[in-house]
Amino acid sequence: MSDRWGALADGVRYQLSLGIQMGLFSGAACALAIAGEPAVELYLGTQATWRGALERISVEEQRPVTTDTLFDLASVTKVFTAHVALSLTDTGVVELDAPLAAVLPAYRDGERSRVTLRHLLNHTSGLPAVWDGWREPLARQKGSGHSRAPFTATPLTGRETLIADLLATPLEAPAGTRFTYSCVNYNTTMAYLEVVTGRRWRELVQKYTLEPLSLSGVTAAPEPELTAATEYQPELNRGVVAGIVHDEAAWSLGGGAGNAGLFATARGLLDFAEQLRLGSGRVLGRWMWDDALTHSLGRATASSEGGFGSSLGLRIGDAEFMGSSLTMRGHTGFTGTSLLVDRETEVSLVLLTNRVHPARNLGGIHPMRAALADLAVAAARATW
């Protein structure tokens, strides 16, 4: 890293150290580039501080966060799923504005027949935020008493039945009438693409995103010993989750899905962020960058007075976690991860933490995300 970014690195280190001291997460990795130049790369804390039935890990046994540490990306995975869907659109395999009904029988009646891939990708489908169809089958499995050992993989079989339940999720509003951020949108996208291509989600991500973009630091199959731990989930018989996707719906669908399931190192995710910033072709250059809500809703939702927009995969100008830059794009993950990109100031910023370790109610990190974004933008503008 260049010496000219010393003050920026100090500011980032202060924020991350404060988060660890406050118990918001046990470890963090941050990678930041400005105009393509690596500016900050920091690794603080440990991969886990608790294990088993909340047994404290001794300091001597704790593994430090390093360049090789993988973090559960949670909903940052949606950005990759969007890239897969748009890559298939770019090659003519699917169409953004073709009704899902042409492929999915569950979408052939009533208002559902109007839902398109575009609606799913920009969260205007009218579907609810979450799908809970995994809860009852998992409760039955947990209550069956077959095993007292924590589940290391989902005990649910019959993925096709779960997908059918997901696809039967009723709309809460007509397509194209409201924005509602929804994991159901991206798992429905996954199901749709799997039917069209005959390939499972992991294979699609590998073939249409990870390989063509040469993203070696991103995986759907992490090595547990290299992975930061997430939440203690005794109610699901999972123990302290590590090396397995934290999101319950994605886990129930086989360990990875359109809404969550990828893990990454800070360098690996920064590589993806930089490719988004440079924006080659219409997938990265236009579809994943331009505001798509006006097309679907018939009105703009972002302004200097507040509000935010959405491309086909990225949130736009959301001050709550992006700071003061109205031109910032990005996404967050429930586990404490985020990816931010700003073409105007040429900033790419990746923050990886395990905010839900050992519990999800220890505090939010949106203020930290916004503070880091503002630090990066200010440093970039100081070079103008």
0.85 surpassed by pTM: yes
State residue 1's pLDDT score. Answer: 57
Asked if 43 contacts 67 with a C-beta cutoff of 8 angstroms, the reply is yes
Question: What proportion of the chain, given as a percentage, has pLDDT over 90?
Answer: 87
State residue 291's pLDDT score. Answer: 94
Judge whether residue 155 has pLDDT over 90. Answer: no
112-124 pLDDT tens trace: 999 999 999 999 9
Q: What is the mean pLDDT of residues 146-162?
A: 80
Q: How far apart are CA 86 and CA 194, in angstroms?
A: 14
State residue 139's pLDDT score. Answer: 84
CA-based nearest residue to 70, from 191, 223, 212: 223
Lowest mean pLDDT among 153-157, 184-188, 219-223, 298-302: 298-302
Asked if 322 contacts 340 with a C-beta cutoff of 8 angstroms, the reply is yes
Residue 96 Cα distances to 88, 91, 302, angstroms: 10, 12, 23
303-326 pLDDT tens trace: 666 779 999 999 999 999 999 999
Q: Which residues contact 305 (CB under 8 A, 6 or more apart)?
A: none
* Edge-to-edge strand ranges of the sheet holding 71-72: 71-72, 263-264, 218-219
Confidence of residue 53 (pLDDT cuts 50, 70, 90): confident
Question: What proportion of the chain, given as a percentage, has pLDDT over 70?
Answer: 96
Lowest mean pLDDT among 2-11, 75-84, 371-380: 2-11
State residue 51's pLDDT score. Answer: 92
Confidence of residue 59 (pLDDT cuts 50, 70, 90): very high
- The three-point CA angle 83-118-331 to 5° equals 50
Judge whether residue 30 has pLDDT over 60. Answer: yes
SS (H, E, C) the chain: CCHHHHHHHHHHHHHHHHHHHCCCCCEEEEEEEECCEEEEEEEEEECCCEECCCEECCCCCCCECCCCCEEECHHHHHHHHHHHHHHHHHCCCCCCCCEHHHCCHHHCCHHHHHCEHHHHHCCCCCCCCCCCCCHHHHHHHHHCCCCCCCCCCCCCCCHHHHHHHHHCCCCCCCCCCCCCCCHHHHHHHHHHHHHHHCCCHHHHHHHHHHCCCCCCCEECCCCHHHECCCCECHHHCCCECCCCCCCHHHHHCCCCCCCCCCEECHHHHHHHHHHHHHCCHHHHHHHCCCCCHHHHHCCCCCECCECCEECCCCEECCHHHHCCCCCCEEEEECCCEEEEEECCCCEEEEEEECCCCCCCCCCCCHHHHHHHHHHHHHHHHCCC
State residue 147's pLDDT score. Answer: 55
Judge whether residue 146 has pLDDT over 70. Answer: no
Lowest mean pLDDT among 264-278, 301-315, 344-358: 301-315
Asked if 313 contacts 83 with a C-beta cutoff of 8 angstroms, the reply is yes
